[in-house]
Copies of this chain bind each other. A is one copy, B any other.
């Protein structure tokens, strides 16, 4: 097991989960069934304790899920069996219920010890709540690669100059040395360039497309796999407010060791009422992610097979600074969880 358990994971966009449309999604290897009942959200193990039938093949009735195989019913709130048509309800007839909350239009699930689930630990993504309707887009991309390869990709945005040269890159990141900083358990990476023309998608927003600009590209990584990005440009010497600015999130939720749920969104401060521009921007980003990032990273994963990148002794470069720090923090947190698991219980008698 190489996944952090005591984490809030991005399970789904909130609108993936309509009333009466349950969703089964595997997260850190565990099959979890999500559904809504009124204002309540439920997340339980998608497996009947009787014979391991997947519960999503059963029926949701309010806060209850009924197994489609032999009719056992379970509470979404507690995981306890509420009806056994064939006999007594015993303690063994309990399924795991996961803490689950909705924040920023996102369903978050906690896969660790329930008593440690604190929703205030969810990274602040308030920019989503504040975004104007036509200044926001989002997406989901199932990817056949380990989540770390996908996080590495965002923590080193120099790749945009080569993989997305006509849209998101243009050479300015490569020319800029990243500022990398650990802030507690998060990693902040910042590229500030000056005197360069804006990247392609911003060029037409400048007074003159070829003019010199100041650009900022900032990534804040939270364990595990939650990354907030700010990217913008302004005419050289002008304040950020005079230019264009975007807030983005890229979130990688591990499905299995070799597959990842990749969620992303984009909001911006310009042309905020332009629905057509918004649709074009959404399509352009989707195309970059699906036809440029995804094939490259999935090919990397195929080359790695079941091995980890670092076991293959890659020739690391300065651009890998941010991703290497994030991997180290992840490794430390993982080791701490294992130590805690191996420790005697605090409540054990002396």
Contacts and interface: CB of A to CB of B under 8 A. Distances in A.
A141 interface: no
A169 B67 CA distance: 15
Given A159-B69, A300-B53, A86 B314 contact: no
Nearest to A304: B52
A315 B92 contact: yes
A319 interface: yes
Chain A interface bracket (under 10, 10 to 19, 20 to 34, 35 or more):
35 or more
A52 B84 contact: no
Contacts of A53: 296, 299-300, 303
Contacts of A303: 31, 47, 52-54
Interface in A31-66: 31, 47, 49-54, 57, 66
Contact of A174 (B85, B300, B304, B315): B85
A2 interface: no
B67 A162 contact: yes
Interface string A286-318: 000000000110011001100001001011111
B70 A312 contact: no
A90 B318 CA distance: 12
Given A69-B159, A162-B67, A314 B174 contact: no
B317 A52 contact: no
Contacts of A69: 159, 162-163, 296, 300
B87 A317 contact: yes
Contact of A295 (B57, B296, B309, B316): B57
A161 interface: yes
A71 B299 CA distance: 16
Contacts of A312: 52
A158 interface: yes
A26 to B, nearest CB: 11
A301 to B, nearest CB: 9
The listed residue with most B CB atoms (<10 A of its CB), out of A69, A85, A299, is A69
B315 A50 contact: yes
Given A31-B303, A52-B300, A315 B90 contact: yes
For A51, A52, A53, A315, the residue with the greatest tally of chain B CB atoms inside 10 Å of its CB is: A51
Interface centre among A66, A85, A93, A316 (most CB of B within 10 A): A85
Contacts of A102: none
Given A50-B315, A68-B162, A87-B319, 5 more contacts: A51-B309, A57-B295, A69-B162, A71-B161, A85-B158
Which 7 residue pairs are nearest across A and B when measured between Cβ atoms?
A: A92-B315, A71-B162, A49-B315, A52-B303, A86-B319, A86-B317, A87-B318
21 contacts: A50-B315, A50-B317, A51-B300, A52-B300, A52-B309, A53-B300, A57-B295, A57-B296, A57-B299, A66-B162, A67-B162, A68-B162, A69-B159, A70-B156, A70-B317, A71-B161, A71-B162, A85-B161, A86-B317, A87-B317, A87-B318
